[in-house]
Amino acid sequence: MILSAVAVFSGNVMAQKAVICLTYDDGLPSHLVTVIPQLDSFQLKGTFFLNAIRGSSDKIGQAPEALISWRQAAAHGHELGNHTMFHPCPEALGWDKTVSIETYTIEQIITEITTINAMLGMIDPKRKHRSFAFPCNNTIVQGKDYSATIREKGLVQYGRGGGDSNAFVKDIREMNSMQVPSWLVEKGTTIKQLIAFAEKVRSQGTMGVYQFHGVGAEFFTISPETHRAFLKYLSDNHSLYQVMTFSEAMEIRSKR
């Protein structure tokens, strides 16, 4: 795995495959019910950026179902990343003042990231370094970009930012590894559009990151059929694409 991926970045045109990262935000129920079983059926690994773990068991002594499922997902090689605890976003995006980023200090956001790191450490103890996705792809707190600060403090190693369907990595050597662009996949996106992005990455770039939310439920929803068809496309075209978790792609890049 590592060796072939190194070849991806070796500059050898013959060996060059586009790196594709499938990322899913907000720890949604559809990730456990639909996305992970679909990924597993194609033996592909995804990256899941979690806030809190939903729900608790009604019975004392019984673990919440979501906790067990996320543990299993991590044990099967899916990456669990940090997405803060309360997901603060700008008021301009409709966030209530009580949870908007305008009311935050850098210290608060650091406390949230630290807390979620501890939670993820209990669910997924094997992983020593965490990647991070900025809530609503916003990197600013109190008028200051906090992306470098959270890495300097050793909280996270890599950061995923946002973008549109032109937001992919053109030159892996030039990219800021705390603000890696990704395509926020909008509601109702079709298989044709998903494939078009992958093809664009292959012809014009080196690495493309999909930012998914709900699949068959919740928000920014795409259908389970579209999601499955896209995984099949990636799997059928494994000579063109290398699907990796976000951290795997970043680690290999840093070894260049």
The residues that touch Zn ion, with contacts defined as CB under 5 A, are: 25-26
Decide whether 17 or 160 has the Cβ nearer to Zn ion.
160
User: Least CB distance from residue 134 to Zn ion, whole Å?
Assistant: 8
Decide whether 30 or 206 has the Cβ nearer to Zn ion.
30
* Among the listed residues 116, 117, 113, the one whose alpha carbon sits nearest the alpha carbon of residue 127: 117
Decide whether 139 or 206 has the Cβ nearer to Zn ion.
139
Task: Please report, as a single letter, which amino acid is at residue 54.
Answer: R
Residue 217 vs residues 165, 213, 224: alpha-carbon distances, Å: 22, 9, 9
User: Least CB distance from residue 173 to Zn ion, whole Å?
Assistant: 29
Decide whether 42 or 104 has the Cβ nearer to Zn ion.
104
Contact assessment for residue 211 and residue 162, using Cβ atoms and an 8 Å cutoff: yes
Determine how many CB atoms are found less than 10 A away from the CB of residue 203: 8
Decide whether 25 or 248 has the Cβ nearer to Zn ion.
25
Question: CA-CA distance, 34 to 12, in Å (whole number)?
Answer: 37
For the chain, the straight-line distance linking the first and the last C-alpha, in angstroms and rounded, comes to 15
* Among the listed residues 114, 117, 98, the one whose alpha carbon sits nearest the alpha carbon of residue 106: 114
Decide whether 42 or 86 has the Cβ nearer to Zn ion.
86
Separation of CA 154 from chain center: 19
User: Least CB distance from residue 114 to Zn ion, whole Å?
Assistant: 18
Strand intervals (E) in 83-219 = 131-133, 140-141, 144-145, 158-160, 183-184, 207-212
User: Least CB distance from residue 48 to Zn ion, whole Å?
Assistant: 11
User: Least CB distance from residue 203 to Zn ion, whole Å?
Assistant: 30
User: Least CB distance from residue 60 to Zn ion, whole Å?
Assistant: 32
Residue number of the CB atom closest to Zn ion: 25
Task: Please report, as a single letter, which amino acid is at residue 136.
Answer: C
- SS3 state at 199: helix
What does the block give as tokens for 50? 């979690």
